[in-house]
Every structure is written in C-alpha cells, then in structure tokens.
A and B are shown apart, each in its own frame.
Chain A
Amino acid sequence: MTALEDAPDAVLAQRAADGDELAFAVIVRRHAPYLRAFVIRLTGSSAEADDAVQDALITAWERLGELNEPERLRSWLTTITSRKATDRMRQRRPEAAIDDLDAPSPASGPEERAVAASGLDALSQVLAELPGDQREIWVLKEVGGLSYEEIAERTGDSLSTVRGRLARARSTVLERMEGWR
C-alpha cells in the first residue's frame, strides 16, 4: 500500500475534495512551506504569512470541489494565497499610492552581488532592495503567475499603474542581475 505522504498531488486533491482529512493534512505539510515563503517574498514580512496561508488553506478546503485539474494543486493554492495576502496588504495601506514609493535601500551594492554564492543569492538581494510596490508586482507576476488584470484587481491599482510598475521592476532586476555572472 502506497503511503499517503508519497501520493501525487492529484490523488490528494481528489481525496480531500471527497472529505479525506488525512489527505488534506498531507497537502498542508507538502505545500504550506512554499505558500508561506511566497507570502514572505511578496510582502517582505513573515509576521502575517502564517495567518494569510492558514486562511488560504481553510478556503482551499471549502473550495476543493471547484478544482477541475487536481494536478494543478500548487498553482491553485498559490492563487488563493495571493488573494488572501493582497487583501491584507490593501487593508494595511488603504491609500494606495499612485506613484512608486521610490526609496532605494542600498543594503548591498554591485560588488556584494558579484560575489553572491549563486544566482539565487543575487536575486534574493535584488528583490529585497526593490521598492515594496515593485517587489509585490514582480512576485505576483513571476511566482504567482498572475496576469496584469488579476494583479490590478488584487492590488486595487489601475492597469496602467501595474504595467508601469512592472516595467520599472523588470528593468531594475535585469540591470542589477547583470552584475552577477
């Protein structure tokens, strides 16, 4: 008998949709770390990550019957989590700034990035240095897989604001990653 811990996502999702709480517990153990890491990268803080992901997983349990492609479980969970996280972020700063909060925080310079142990370390620093609004949009787009429209809806910003902000983020990340070989 195959252990539930080794079951593919699709099987776990189907069982949990049918009410199997053990299968759901395996889903939580398997995917929660990624979801929490996603929220921390998105918001820049770990304080709310636990709550946002807990909310997301409870919602996921309620809506598992709606998941038509159970093999796409992680990306479906990430989408739900991004909504919970951005809801909290919108509540935290009700007056969404139209302009970027361009406060460059030179925590490290090109020299530090050049000696970063890996591309991952370099990207980690570059993302940490981005203004919050740009980092948020980068993570929603590249990790969350959201479209421009979805990002605009979630952040409460206009589509043109989202495009502009993402363009600046993209340009910045490309330029700063250029220093790393």
Chain B
Amino acid sequence: MVTLDGEDDIGGSGFGLDELAAYRDRGRTPAIPAIDDNAECQAVLDSLERLGDLSRELVERDAVSLPVDDSWLAGILNAIAFEVRAGHDIEFPVEPADTGGDSGADAVADAPTRLTITEGAIREIVRWAGDSVPDVLVGRVALLGDTTDPTAEITIEVTISAAFPAPLAERADAVRVAVAGALLAHTPLRVGRVDVTVGEIHLPSRGGSV
C-alpha cells in the first residue's frame, strides 16, 4: 500500500499524515494542488479512503452473524407500546336514542353512544387503503385542518412509494379514490381533499430505492 517513511512530509509535498487526513475529512476542499498533484499523497489518501470503506464493510459482515432474536424484538416492542402516537380523539356523530318508554337495561342500551376514533387510527386506515393499491406503499400521512371541529373540512396528505415501473399518475389517482372511500366508510371525517405525493420509487420485491 504505502510506506510511511517521513510521516511529516509525504512525497515531498510538505504535508504530513495528519494534515492529509484532515484534508480528506473536510472533503478535499478548498483544493490544495501540492497534495492533489502529488502521487504519494494521493496514494495515502486512497489508502485512508479504502480503510474507511473496509471498516464499514467489516461491521456489515459482522452483522450477518447477528440476526435479531424474537424475544429481544418483543422486549423492544413492549417498551414502545407505552409511547402512544394516537393523537387526539375524533368523535363520531351521536346516534339519536330510540326512547319509546324503555326502562332499566333497555334505556341504558338505547342511550346515545359516544364513539371516538383517534388520529392514529385514521392514519392506519389511510395506510391500509393506500397499501391495497398495487405497487404502492404508503409512507407519511398528514391530516390538515381542525380535526376537533366536526364541521371542518380536512385535507389528507399522503406520501407514497411506488414500485418501478408502475404508472405513477394512475397509481396516485387510485390511492386518492381508495383513501377517500375508506375514510368516508369508516370515519366521521369531512374529507375535503386527498393529496398524493410520490416521494419514492422502489424496486419491486427488493428493499432498495432507485
């Protein structure tokens, strides 16, 4: 690879090993011709670069023999279950009570019910609806507008990842329809608009992003 005789003056450039390392760390800018034009300095920089790459590769190789234990994963999932991301409750319209002279248990059973759904559950419904469109995975879901006001129109912003080479506009429309339909059927939200953004393209049946 490289000899380190004369560590303080590599290749006669006037720069030492530590200075070359610092030069590499700051992305070789601003450029220093005395280093860039010096073959031995370049060899040292290449070695440093290679060692950095090898170090990361080494950890990746180590990782192959350390798969996740199910009970260890369960421990983590249990711990996070308390950190709830439900958001606040959104109330369904109250069902009018059918009072026809009922008493006792019947009166309780017919009393107006209060049903609420959390923002978190609404986001889950959006993900479920969007995921059902072929080649689509839903990412971020945002509910814009005053969700505490039952008369307010809410805008749903959905970011999706689409599998290449699916037709994007067509898939986005399909997501829009699926999400609007699901929210209408299962939630009390007044949906004004569903905006769909394709944030990512992914390769089908592989985890990589294009």
Residues in chain A within 8 A of chain B (CB atoms): 1-11, 14-15, 17-21, 24-25, 28-30, 32-34, 36-38, 40-41, 50, 54, 57-58, 61-62, 70-71, 119-120, 123-124, 127, 138-139, 142-143, 163, 166-167, 170-171, 173-175, 177-178
Tally A-B pairs: CB < 8 A. Answer: 168
11 more A-B residue pairs beyond the given contacts A10-B209, A18-B123, A171-B4, with a C-beta to C-beta distance below 8 A: A7-B207, A8-B200, A11-B137, A14-B199, A19-B124, A24-B80, A28-B68, A41-B59, A120-B54, A120-B57, A142-B55
A6 to B59, CA, bound (A): 22
> Are the C-beta atoms of B76 and A143 separated by less than 8 Å?
no
> Are the C-beta atoms of A32 and B68 separated by less than 8 Å?
yes
Q: How far is the CB of A51 from chain B (nearest CB, A)?
A: 10
> Are the C-beta atoms of A28 and B73 separated by less than 8 Å?
yes
Known: A19-B123, A20-B124, A120-B58. A71 touches B209 (CB 8 A): yes
A170 to B17, CA, bound (A): 9
Known: A2-B202, A11-B200. A58 touches B80 (CB 8 A): yes
Residue of B nearest to A10 (CB): B200
Q: Does B79 contact A (CB under 8 A)?
A: yes
Residue of B nearest to A179 (CB): B1
Question: Which of A11, A38, A138 has the most chain B CB within a 10 Å cutoff?
Answer: A11
Q: How far is the CB of B42 from chain A (nearest CB, A)?
A: 15
> Are the C-beta atoms of A50 and B79 separated by less than 8 Å?
no
> Are the C-beta atoms of B73 and A14 separated by less than 8 Å?
no
> Are the C-beta atoms of B127 and A20 separated by less than 8 Å?
yes
* CB<8 Å pairs between A and B, sample of 5: A11-B138, A32-B72, A36-B66, A71-B209, A171-B7
Contacts of A32 in B (CB 8 A): 66, 68, 72-73
Known: A18-B123, A19-B120. A139 touches B202 (CB 8 A): no
> Are the C-beta atoms of A175 and B209 separated by less than 8 Å?
no
Contacts of B163 in A (CB 8 A): 2
A36 to B4, CA, bound (A): 34
Q: How far is the CB of B145 from chain A (nearest CB, A)?
A: 17
> Are the C-beta atoms of B139 and A15 separated by less than 8 Å?
yes
> Are the C-beta atoms of B141 and A54 separated by less than 8 Å?
no
Q: Which of B100-108, B128-136, B147-155, B185-193 contacts A (4 or more CB under 8 A)?
A: B128-136
A15 to B21, CA, bound (A): 39
> Are the C-beta atoms of A123 and B55 separated by less than 8 Å?
yes
